[in-house]
C-alpha cells in the first residue's frame, strides 16, 4: 500500500516512534512561529532552558495579536520580543506587518517542511503542502532548542474534492461544510488530507482558508498537495525556488475518506455561538446586521479583499451598518493599494484597522449590546467579540460584503438578484509587490551575545511548577459542561495584556463563567488544598494559549477530570504538571458536584507506575469511581516532575552529571 502525503512528510521527519495509528511519534521541527500573546511566555521558557542558540532552520516571532498599546504592557511585550529575537537569531515581524499565519504563508512556508507554531491556526501552512501544527508555547520553546515535537501518530482522512466552486461560493463555504460534516469535537488525532480533481481550481490562499479553519474541527492539521497552484503562488512571492511537487502515492492508504462536490456547495454560515453550528445563508434572510468585519487569518488575502472591494465599488453602506476591514498583512495592504482596491473601501465608508488580529480576538470593534456581527474569521464563541450578548456569525468575505450592503444576512446570490451585482473575479497578480522591510532580520551570530534582553514591569518570570503531590486531597472547585473553550478558561481581548504576567493574569481564570472562581481557588490553594476542575466533552477547545493551563496551575489546580479533552489543551496541561483524567462514564460525571471533596490516595505512585485507571474518592458523596489516565510514559514522567520545564531541567542535570 502507498503512503499519504501526511505520512511521507512525518516519516521523513521522524526521530522517535514509528508509523502506527494511535502510538506516539516524535518529529523534527524545521520552522517555528510564535505570536506576541503566546510568544512572550514561550521565550521566557526558552530563556529558562538555558539554550544558547536555535536548532531550527527558521524561526519567526510575530507581533499581531495585541497591537493596540492601551497601556505600557503591550509595548513592554513588543520590546522584550525584539530584544529576545536579537539575542537568539530569531526573525521578528513587527506590529503592523500582519497576522502570523498570513505572513508566514507569504514569506516563509515551504512544501514538505514541518512548522510548529504557538497558535492553534498554524495549520494554515497546510495550504502550501507543509505539516504545520499548533502547540503550546513551551512545546515551541523546546523545538527551538532542538527537542522533537511529540504527537499521536495521526489517523489520515482523505477529503476528495470534485467539481468547481459556483458563483458566490468560496473556500470558506467548503471549510464550513467540513465543519457541518465533522463538527467541532471527536476529531482529535486526525489529519485532513485534501485530494482530487477539485483541487485544481483552488489557489494557495483559498487552500489556506480551508486548512486554517480545520483547527475548529479539532484535527491535528490539514494538508494540501504541492502542485502547480503551489508553484504559481510561490512564484508570485518571489520564492519559486522553494517549490517541490509533493503528493500522496496513487495507492495511498487512508483511515477514512469523504468526497465533496464543490459545485454542489452553497453559501454557509456558522451561527452563534460555535463554528460547528453550520446553516445555509438562505435560511437567515430575516436577520438584521449591525456590524460586518472582514479580516483575520482565515480570510484576508489579496483575493478576499479585492473581491469585497469590487462588490463595494460605487456603492455606499447603510447608515446603521459598521464595516471593518483588516488586511491580513502589510503585503496585502500594499498590493490592494497599488491595484486601486483600497480606494473602494474608503469610498464605501469601510473602517480600516491595521493588519493584525484585531476584532478576531476581541481586541477592539466590540459590537453593540445584543448586536448581530458577521465576520469572516474562524471563531464565534460567546463573548469572544468583547460583547457578552453579541451574536456572531462566521461567513465568507462575499457573504459578509453582500450582507453589509443589504443590511441583513444575505449571500452574493441575493445581492445579484436585488442589485444586479455580478460575481467579481479580480485578477490575482502573478507577482506581488514585495517588501520585507518590517521583518527584522536576525543579528550576525557574533553580535547576538551582546544583545541585551529588555524587560519592563509587565514581563514576569517563567511559570513555577511543583512536582505532582503524593496524594491528592482537594475540592472540585468548579463543575463545567461540554465544549468549554480556552476563551472561557482564560479570556483574551482586554485581558490579553497580562499574558507575560502569570500572577496578574491568574486573577481572571474563568472570569466570564464564574467570576469568583479565581479567589475561591486561591483561597483553597493557600489553605493547602488541591483544586480539581470537573468538565464535560471537549474540554479546552479553541486556542493554543498555554495560559489556560499555566494560570489554573498557579491557582493550585492539580487535575482536570473531563469527559474528553482537546489535543493542544491536554498537551498544555501535561506540560504544566496538571493531570488530565477522563471520566469512564457519564454517570460518574453526573455524580460529582462543585464543592465536593475529592481525594486520590497514592496519586504520584500510580501515575509513575503507568496505571491507566486511577481511583478517585468523592468524600462528600461517599462514593468512588475510576478515572482514565491515558498518558504515555514520556507524559507521565513530565507530570510527575511537575511539568516539561522541570523535566527538561532534570534531564539536563543528569546529562551534566
C-alpha cell read off for 398: 462575499
Pairwise CA distance, residues 78 & 81, whole Å = 5
Interacting span for ligand MIC (CB under 6 A) from 1-9, 265-273, 502-510, 541-549: 541-549
Where is 343: in which H helix or E strand? helix 341-348
**Contacts of 136 by beta carbon, 8 Å cutoff, 6+ apart:** 38, 118, 544, 545, 546, 549, 568, 571, 572, 575
Q: Is 545 in the site for ligand MIC (CB under 6 A)?
A: yes
Residues 55-74 that bind ligand MIC (CB under 6 A): 65
Cβ-based burial of 551 (10 A; exposed 0-12, middle 13-18, buried ≥19): buried
CA end-to-end distance (rounded Å), the chain: 47
Which of ligand SF4, ligand MIC, none interacts with 545 (beta carbon under 5 to 8 A by kind)?
A: ligand MIC
User: Does the footprint of ligand SF4 cover residue 119 (CB under 6 A)?
Assistant: yes
* CB-based burial, 33-63: b 16+ in 10 Å, e otherwise: bbbbbbbbbbbbbbbbbebeebebebbbbbb
Q: Binding string, 81-120, against ligand MIC, x = CB under 6 A?
A: --------------------------------------xx
Question: CB of residue 276 vs ligand SF4: minimum separation in angstroms?
Answer: 16
Cell numbers placing 330: 502589510
Grid cell for residue 273: 455561538
Q: 237 touches which of ligand SF4, ligand MIC, none (CB within 5 to 8 A by kind)?
A: none
Q: Which is nearer to ligand MIC, 165 or 568 (CB)?
A: 568
Q: What angle do CA 295, 568, 383 make, to 5 degrees?
A: 45
Question: Could you tell which of ligand SF4, ligand MIC, none binds residue 296, using a CB distance below 5 to 8 A set by kind?
Answer: ligand SF4
According to CB under 6 A, which residues from 331 to 370 bind ligand MIC?
361
Q: Is 38 in the site for ligand MIC (CB under 6 A)?
A: yes
In whole angstroms, give the CA distance from residue 62 to residue 83. Answer: 13
Which of 58, 85, 99, 366 lies at the binding interface for ligand SF4 (CB under 6 A)? 99
Kindly state whether residue 543 participates in binding ligand MIC, applying the rule CB under 6 A.
yes
Q: β-strand 579-583 against 597-600: which pairing, if any?
A: unpaired
Helix (H) or strand (E) holding 15: strand 14-16
Q: Which of residues 511-530 bind ligand MIC (CB under 6 A)?
A: none
Stretch that binds ligand SF4, among 170-178, 354-362, 387-395, 483-491 (CB under 6 A): 354-362
Among ligand SF4, ligand MIC, none, partner that 99 touches (CB below 5 to 8 angstroms by kind): ligand SF4
Q: Between the CA of residue 425 and those of 13, 110, 170, 307, 356, what are the distances in Å?
A: 40, 27, 12, 7, 26
Distance from C-alpha of 115 to C-alpha of 10, rounded to nearest angstrom: 11
Q: Is 257 helix (H, G, I), strand (E, B) or coil?
A: strand
Which region among 298-306, 531-539, 540-548, 601-609 touches ligand MIC (by CB under 6 A)? 540-548
- Alpha-carbon distance of 296 to 123, in angstroms, equals 14
Residue placing its CB nearer to ligand SF4 in the complex, 385 or 529:
385
The interface with ligand SF4 within residues 212-251 (CB under 6 A) comprises: none
Among 219, 297, 509, 603, binds ligand SF4 (CB under 6 A): 297
- 450: burial class by Cβ within 10 Å (0-12, 13-18, 19+)? exposed
- DSSP letter (8 states) at residue 398: H
Cell readout for 218 is 479539532
3-state secondary structure of 375: strand
For the record, the C-alpha cell of 646 comes out as 522541570
Residue 644 and residue 12: Cα distance in Å, rounded?
A: 26
Quick one: which segment of 8-16, 79-87, 257-265, 542-550 binds ligand MIC (CB under 6 A)?
A: 542-550
| Least CB distance to ligand SF4 at residue 275 (A) | 11
Task: Considering only residues 355 through 374, tell me which ones interact with ligand SF4, judged by CB under 6 A.
Answer: 357, 360-361
- 274 makes contact with ligand SF4 (CB under 6 A): no
Q: How many Å is the maximal CA-CA distance in the chain? A: 77
With CB under 6 A as the contact rule, the residue among 385, 396, 544, 564 that binds ligand MIC is 544
Is residue 332 involved in binding ligand SF4 (CB under 6 A)?
A: no
Instruction: Give the x-and-dash track for 121-150 against ligand SF4 (CB under 6 A).
Output: x-----------------------------
- The number of helix segments (H) and strand segments (E) in the chain equals 23, 27
Distances (CA, A) of 486 to 376, 489, 630: 21, 5, 21
The answer to the question of residue 36 lying near ligand SF4 (CB under 6 A) is no
| Among ligand SF4, ligand MIC, none, residue 191 binds (CB under 5-8 Å by kind) | none
Footprint (CB under 6 A) of ligand MIC, residues 365-384: 379
120/220 with CB nearer ligand MIC: 120
Closest to ligand MIC by CB, 172 or 525: 172
Contacts with ligand MIC, residue ranges (CB under 6 A): 37-38, 65, 119-121, 134, 361, 379, 492, 542-545
Contacts with ligand SF4, residue ranges (CB under 6 A): 65, 99, 119, 121, 296-297, 357, 360-361, 377-378
Amino acid at each position: 500500500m502507498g503512503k499519504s502525503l501526511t505520512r511521507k512528510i512525518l516519516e521523513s521527519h521522524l526521530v522517535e516512534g514509528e508509523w502506527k495509528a494511535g502510538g506516539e511519534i516524535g518529529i523534527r521541527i524545521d520552522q517555528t512561529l510564535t505570536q506576541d500573546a503566546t510568544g512572550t511566555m514561550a521565550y521566557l521558557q526558552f530563556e529558562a532552558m538555558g539554550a544558547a542558540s536555535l536548532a531550527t532552520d527558521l524561526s519567526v516571532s510575530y507581533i499581531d495579536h495585541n497591537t493596540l498599546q492601551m497601556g505600557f504592557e503591550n509595548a513592554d511585550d513588543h520590546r522584550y520580543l525584539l530584544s529576545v529575537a536579537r539575542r537568539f537569531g530569531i526573525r521578528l515581524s513587527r506590529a503592523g506587518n500582519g497576522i502570523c499565519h498570513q505572513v508566514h504563508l507569504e514569506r516563509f512556508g515551504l512544501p514538505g517542511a514541518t512548522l510548529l507554531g504557538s497558535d492553534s491556526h498554524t495549520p494554515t501552512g497546510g495550504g502550501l503542502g507543509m505539516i504545520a501544527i499548533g502547540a503550546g508555547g513551551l512545546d515551541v520553546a523546546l523545538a527551538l532548542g532542538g527537542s522533537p515535537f511529540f504527537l499521536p501518530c495521526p489517523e489520515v482522512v482523505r477529503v476528495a474534492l470534485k467539481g468547481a466552486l459556483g458563483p458566490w461560493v468560496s473556500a470558506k463555504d467548503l471549510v464550513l461544510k467540513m465543519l457541518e460534516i465533522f463538527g467541532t469535537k471527536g476529531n482529535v488525532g486526525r489529519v485532513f488530507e485534501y485530494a482530487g480533481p477539485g483541487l485544481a481550481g483552488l489557489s494557495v490562499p483559498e487552500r489556506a482558508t480551508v486548512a486554517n479553519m480545520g483547527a475548529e474541527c479539532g484535527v491535528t492539521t490539514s494538508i494540501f498537495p504541492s502542485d502547480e497552484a503551489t508553484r504559481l503562488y510561490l512564484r508570485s512571492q518571489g520564492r519559486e525556488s522553494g517549490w517541490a511537487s509533493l503528493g500522496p502515492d496513487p495507492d495511498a492508504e487512508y483511515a477514512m475518506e469523504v468526497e465533496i462536490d464543490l459545485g454542489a456547495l452553497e453559501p454557509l454560515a456558522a451561527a452563534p455561538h460555535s463554528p460547528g453550528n453550520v446553516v445555509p445563508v438562505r435560511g437567515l434572510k430575516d436577520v438584521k446586521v449591525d456590524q460586518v468585519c472582514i479580516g483575520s487569518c482565515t480570510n484576508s488575502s489579496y483575493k478576499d479583499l479585492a473581491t469585497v472591494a469590487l462588490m463595494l465599488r460605487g456603492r455606499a453602506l447603510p447608515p446603521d451598518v459598521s464595516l471593518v476591514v483588516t488586511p491580513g498583512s502589510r503585503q496585502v495592504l500594499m498590493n490592494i493599494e497599488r491595484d486601486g482596491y483600497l480606494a473602494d473601501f474608503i469610498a464605501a465608508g469601510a473602517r480600516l484597522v491595521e493588519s493584525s488580529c484585531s476584532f478576531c480576538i476581541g481586541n477592539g470593534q466590540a459590537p453593540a449590546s445584543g448586536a448581530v456581527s458577521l465576520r469572516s474569521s474562524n471563531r464565534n464563541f460567546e463573548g469572544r467579540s468583547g460583547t457578552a450578548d453579541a451574536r456572531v456569525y462566521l461567513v465568507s468575505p462575499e457573504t459578509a460584503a453582500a450582507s453589509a450592503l443589504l443590511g441583513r444576512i444575505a449571500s452574493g446570490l441575493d445581492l445579484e438578484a436585488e442589485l444586479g451585482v455580478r460575481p467579481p473575479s479580480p485578477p490575482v497578480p502573478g507577482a506581488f509587490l514585495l517588501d520585507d522591510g518590517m521583518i527584522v532580520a536576525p543579528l550576525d551570530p557574533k553580535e547576538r551575545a551582546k544583545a541585551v534582553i529588555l524587560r519592563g514591569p509587565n514581563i514576569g518570570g517563567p511559570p513555577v511548577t511543583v512536582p505532582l503531590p503524593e496524594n491528592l486531597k482537594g475540592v472540585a472547585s468548579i463543575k463545567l459542561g461540554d465544549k468549554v473553550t480556552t476563551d472561557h478558561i482564560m479570556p483574551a481581548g482586554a485581558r490579553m495584556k497580562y499574558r507575560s504576567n502569570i500572577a496578574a493574569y491568574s486573577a481572571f481564570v474563568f472570569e466570564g463563567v464564574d467570576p469568583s472562581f479565581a479567589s475561591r481557588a486561591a483561597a483553597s490553594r493557600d489553605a493547602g488544598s488541591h483544586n480539581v476542575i470537573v468538565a464535560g466533552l471537549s474540554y479546552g477547545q479553541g486556542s493554543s494559549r498555554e495560559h489556560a493551563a499555566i494560570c489554573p496551575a498557579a491557582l493550585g489546580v492539580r487535575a482536570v477530570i473531563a469527559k474528553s479533552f482537546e489535543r493542544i489543551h491536554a498537551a498544555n496541561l501535561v506540560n504544566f504538571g496538571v493531570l488530565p483524567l477522563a471520566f469512564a462514564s457519564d454517570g460518574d460525571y453526573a455524580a460529582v458536584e462543585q464543592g465536593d471533596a475529592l481525594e486520590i490516595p497514592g496519586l504520584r505512585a500510580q501515575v509513575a507506575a503507568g496505571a491507566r485507571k486511577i481511583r478517585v474518592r468523592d468524600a462528600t458523596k461517599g462514593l468512588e469511581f475510576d478515572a482514565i489516565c491515558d498518558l504515555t510514559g514520556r507524559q507521565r514522567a513530565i507530570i510527575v516532575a511537575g511539568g516539561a520545564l522541570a523535566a527538561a531541567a532534570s534531564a539536563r542535570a543528569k546529562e551534566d552529571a
